[in-house]
């Protein structure tokens, strides 16, 4: 084998290694960042709107710790839900969130003045490039809230601070609940894209903040007396679900690294006066 | 003495400007009502007037924005006086925890066998189809005391439209508010999300949850009537007052110094708020009840008051003694042939003077 031929083979092998490494290693070595909710692609045919749809079998769950929301309301620190299981999936058109938590009683109606319904909510910023105050946002940095109540209530709300939630005229959010064996499982879904004023669009290529709340009706939880998460984020930006140009960038970077190394080695050899 | 030095809820005794009237911050005038408990016959016409106007159906069956309860008695809702709410102290900085009464404590709206008895020839007595164990006025006319010295009186109650409403403070959404022009406490039905912090925050339990509407509701002091929103544009006092057969209610503005409400509350100090220790400063005031003296075992009247003063003090605070004494003195004066503006006010039958609602219309 001639030197030229050997150099070409080595070059080809290095190139293959660079491309392979760029394509497969970053997803393997990057553990899921803290507070990330991965958003898996699913097909509508797999019934992601159904809490028991097969779409959810392949979607990794995130265990989200929940704690009493800070609030001046009476007994605000007396809440009962301490963990929420969250899964997120999307089709081309809709994003689906499957929330699941333990609750010994399904509180579906509030026909007695002392009874309150179980409920859950998801909060996302209106402006997804800026993180709002977690307690219902602020006047300048508003949030959308997707609310489900066990009395068949689904609401899409806008808020600009505590006590300001206001319903959108027409909710774009759907909810589908299931209560089974001491556990609520609720799928909330909404179109990915939105061009409506004050309605968050999720057709973006960056991560989007999201927070969760759960109310246990039989514990008289309502309003700010609730279990809440800290901020999490939907992984909608570059990353495991990132756009294809990411791999191209890694390949270019790989070649640049290898090229720089070769030039350096060549230069060092030249300085030492090595000859063949 | 400046206005700031004026003790809360007391009058200066003379009509010397605004110093004697303690209005809520940001409120121009304050509607108020005086109810003379000596005239109440417990007929519930006020209750029915209110119910047929505002709380028929639509999730409101169990609600009585106006109710008349027998005292001593558990009241409506049952044992409301033990349900908490109001303020811890007179600086109104910290609220007292309260409870939401349950359905049984209010009493369910019973369905009766009218159909069978009236139209189907049943010889059953007319009675509820359910088997209730409690309801409004379950303990009507029971009262307290031993024969021949038993006693009771009727206590009509509406929302007190308080100067320091703890229900307003309790709402995390500011859905319940005290309106600027006349201090009426209202719930914005668009803002209310049925959290019921107002229900537990009101020590008089005069806010009610409507499970059908999923909002809380309450007495609105018949504001469309006092605004002249009726069919012929006339101004009317609240229906509970106008429809009262013995006409025991006076309606006006606390800060209308020429009106009977102001005089009875602020000058003569004979009209008192219910449970002042809740510290919400109600704007419904009561002329405390008198009763015939106690009887001895052989039926002779003796010089002992039938309704024990400590009980009245429990309801109306320690100022009840001065109020009762003052009215007694003025009655004696009239009995001796003298004159009394106070008794004239309490016995006036002229509706134009009893209901003074247009006095600030030109502002």
Best of B101, B196, B201 to disrupt the A interface by mutation (most A CBs within 10 Å)?
Answer: B196
Report the distance separating Cα A167 and Cα B109, nearest Å.
Answer: 32
The predicted structure's pLDDT at residue B362 = 80
Q: What is the pLDDT of residues B262-285, one digit of tens each?
A: 999 999 999 999 999 999 999 999
Residue A176 in tokens: 């589908």
Q: If pLDDT is split at 50, 70 and 90, which confidence band does A241 have?
A: very low
Nearest to A223 among B172, B174, B211 (CB): B172
The alpha carbon of residue B208 is apart from the nearest alpha carbon of chain A, in Å, by 8
Residue boundaries of the structural domains of chain A: 3-27+244-272, 37-235
How far is B345 from B324, CA to CA, in rounded Å? 15
Q: Are B97 and B84 in contact (CB under 8 A)?
A: yes
**What is the distance in angstroms between the Cα of A250 and the nearest Cα belonging to chain B?**
51
Give the per-residue pLDDT at A263: 86
Q: Do B102 and A112 touch (CB under 8 A)?
A: yes
pTM of the model: 0.86
Model confidence at A262, pLDDT cuts 50, 70, 90, reads confident
pLDDT at B82: 98
DSSP string, B112-162: B-HIIIIIS---SPP-BSS--S--TTTTTTT-BS-TTS-B-EEEEE-----
Q: What's the number of CA atoms in the CB half-sphere (13 Å) around residue B148?
A: 12
Q: Contacts of residue B174 in chain A, CB cutoff 8 Å?
A: 163
Residue A14 has a pLDDT of 72
Q: Check if CATH label 3.90.550.10 holds for domain B18-354.
A: no
Q: What is the pLDDT of residue B13?
A: 39
The helix or strand, by DSSP H or E, that contains position A212, with its residue range, turns out to be strand A208-215
Predicted local distance difference test score (pLDDT) of residue A8: 76
CATH architecture of A37-235: Sandwich (2.60)
Query: Distance between CA B312 and CA A79 in Å, rounded?
Result: 42
pLDDT of residue A31: 64
Q: Which residues of chain B have pLDDT under 50?
A: 1-18
pLDDT at residue number A84:
98
The average confidence (pLDDT) of chain A is: 90
- Nearest residue of B to residue A74, measured between CA atoms: B97
Cα–Cα–Cα angle for B160, B183, B90, nearest 5°?
A: 60
pLDDT for A153-177, tens place per residue?
A: 999 999 999 999 999 999 999 999 9
Closest by alpha carbon to B221, among B207, B237, B233? B237
Other residues' Cβ atoms within 10 Å of the Cβ of residue A8: 12
Domain ranges of chain B: 18-354
Report the complex ipTM. Answer: 0.89
């Amino acid at each position: 084998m001639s030197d030229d031929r050997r150099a070409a083979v080595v070059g080809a092998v290095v190139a293959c290694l660079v491309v392979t490494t760029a394509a497969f290693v970053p997803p393997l070595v990057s553990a899921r960042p803290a507070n990330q909710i991965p958003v898996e692609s699913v097909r509508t045919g797999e019934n992601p709107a159904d809490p028991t749809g097969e779409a959810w079998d392949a979607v990794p769950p995130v265990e989200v710790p929940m704690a009493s929301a800070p609030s001046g309301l009476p007994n605000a620190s007396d809440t009962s839900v301490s963990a929420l299981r969250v899964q997120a999936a999307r089709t081309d058109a809709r994003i689906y969130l499957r929330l699941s938590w333990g609750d010994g009683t399904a509180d579906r109606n509030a026909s007695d003045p002392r009874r309150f319904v179980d409920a859950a909510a998801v909060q996302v910023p209106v402006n997804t490039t800026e993180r709002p105050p977690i307690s219902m946002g602020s006047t300048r940095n508003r949030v959308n809230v997707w609310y489900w109540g066990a009395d068949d209530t689904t609401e899409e709300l806008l808020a600009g601070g505590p006590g300001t939630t206001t319903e959108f005229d027409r909710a774009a959010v759907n909810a589908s609940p299931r209560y089974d064996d001491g556990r609520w499982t609720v799928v909330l879904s909404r179109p990915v894209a939105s061009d409506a004023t004050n309605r968050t669009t999720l057709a973006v290529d960056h991560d989007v903040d999201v927070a969760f709340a759960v109310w246990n009706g039989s514990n008289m939880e309502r309003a700010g007396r609730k279990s809440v998460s800290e901020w999490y984020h939907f992984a909608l930006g570059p990353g495991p679900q990132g756009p294809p140009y990411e791999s191209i960038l890694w390949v270019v970077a790989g070649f640049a690294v290898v090229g720089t190394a070769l030039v350096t080695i060549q230069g060092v050899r030249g300085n030492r006066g090595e000859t063949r | 003495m400046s206005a700031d030095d004026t003790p809360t809820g007391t009058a200066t005794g003379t009509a010397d400007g605004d110093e004697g009237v303690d209005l809520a911050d940001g409120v121009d005038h304050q509607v108020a009502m005086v109810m003379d408990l000596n005239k109440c016959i417990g007929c519930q016409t006020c209750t029915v007037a209110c119910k047929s106007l505002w709380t028929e159906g639509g999730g409101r069956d169990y609600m009585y924005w106006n109710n008349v309860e027998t005292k001593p008695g558990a009241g409506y809702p049952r044992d409301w006086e033990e349900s908490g709410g109001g303020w811890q102290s007179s600086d109104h900085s910290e609220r007292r925890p309260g409870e939401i009464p349950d359905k049984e404590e209010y009493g369910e709206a019973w369905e009766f066998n009218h159909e069978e008895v009236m139209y189907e020839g049943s010889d059953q007595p007319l009675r509820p189809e359910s088997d209730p164990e409690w309801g409004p006025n379950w303990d009507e006319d029971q009262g307290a005391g031993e024969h021949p010295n038993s006693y009771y009186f009727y206590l009509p109650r509406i929302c007190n439209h308080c100067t320091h409403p703890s229900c307003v403070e309790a709402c995390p959404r500011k859905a319940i508010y005290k309106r600027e022009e006349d201090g009426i406490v209202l719930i914005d039905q668009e803002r209310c999300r049925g959290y019921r912090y107002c229900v537990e925050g009101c020590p008089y339990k005069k806010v009610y949850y409507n499970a059908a509407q999923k909002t809380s509701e309450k007495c609105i002091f018949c504001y469309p009537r006092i605004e002249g929103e009726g069919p012929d544009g006339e101004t009317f006092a609240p229906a509970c007052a106008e429809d009262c057969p013995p006409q025991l209610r006076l309606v006006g503005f606390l800060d209308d110094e020429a009106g009977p409400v102001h005089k009875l509350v602020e000058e003569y100090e004979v009209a008192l708020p219910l449970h002042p220790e809740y510290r919400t400063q109600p704007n419904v005031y009561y002329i405390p009840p008198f009763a015939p003296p106690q009887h001895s075992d052989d039926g002779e009247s003796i010089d002992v008051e039938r309704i024990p003063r400590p009980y009245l003090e429990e309801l109306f605070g320690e100022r009840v003694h001065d109020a009762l004494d003052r009215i007694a003195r003025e009655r004696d004066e009239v009995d001796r042939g003298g004159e009394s503006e106070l008794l004239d006010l309490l016995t006036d039958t002229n509706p134009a003077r009893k209901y003074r609602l247009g006095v600030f219309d030109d502002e």
